[in-house]
Copies of this chain bind each other. A is one copy, B any other.
Amino acid sequence: MRIRPAVESDLGTIEELIRALAEYERMSGDVVMDSERLRRSLFGDHPYAEVLIAEEDDGEPVGFALFFHNFSTFLGRPGIYLEDLFVKPEQRGRGHGKALLQRLAEIAVERDCGGMEWAVLNWNEPSIGFYRSLGARPNDEWTVYRLTGEALERLAGA
C-alpha cells in the first residue's frame, strides 16, 4: 500500500470517498457538493484544501485524508487541520489510517507547522483511544460556534 497526493484526475475517486464517508456517518443527506465546485476548490487557481489518497499496490483507492492549513497567532506559525480521514470499512485494521496520519505528521514537520488538529465526535471512543495513543490531546475548554445560512446573510446585511 502507499500514500500519495491527489491530482485532478482523482476527482471522481475523491467524490466517491466523500460519499462513502457520509454514508458511514449516516449523513448522506448533508452532502450537497457538486463536482465542478469541488474541482475548483481543490484544483483551481486558489486551492482551499489538499488531499492524500491511500491505495493498494494495484492502485485501488481505499481511503483519503483532506486537510488545509490553519494558523496559530500565539505561535506565529501555520498548522495542519485534518478535515476528513476515512478508510473504507472493509479495508480497515491494516494500517491505512495510521499511514495517512503519519504522512500528515511528516508534512507538518516539513512545512514547519506548530502541530496538527482534527475534530472527533464525542461518542467515538475507539477513535479517541487511538488518537490519545499517538499523543494527541483534547482541546476541550473550547467549543466551536458556527454561523451559516440566513443568520450569516442577516449579519452580512445581504
Contact = CB atoms under 8 A, between A and B. Distances in A.
Interface string A14-35: 0000100110000100111110
Contact of A121 (B21, B37, B137, B141): B141
Residue of A83, A131, A141, A148 with most chain B CB atoms under a 10 A cut-off: A148
Chain A interface residue bracket vs B = 35 or more
A153 B75 contact: no
Contact of A74 (B22, B75, B153): B22
Interface of A: 18, 21-22, 27, 30-34, 37-38, 41, 48-49, 66, 68-78, 81, 83-84, 101-102, 105-106, 108-109, 114-123, 128, 131, 134-158
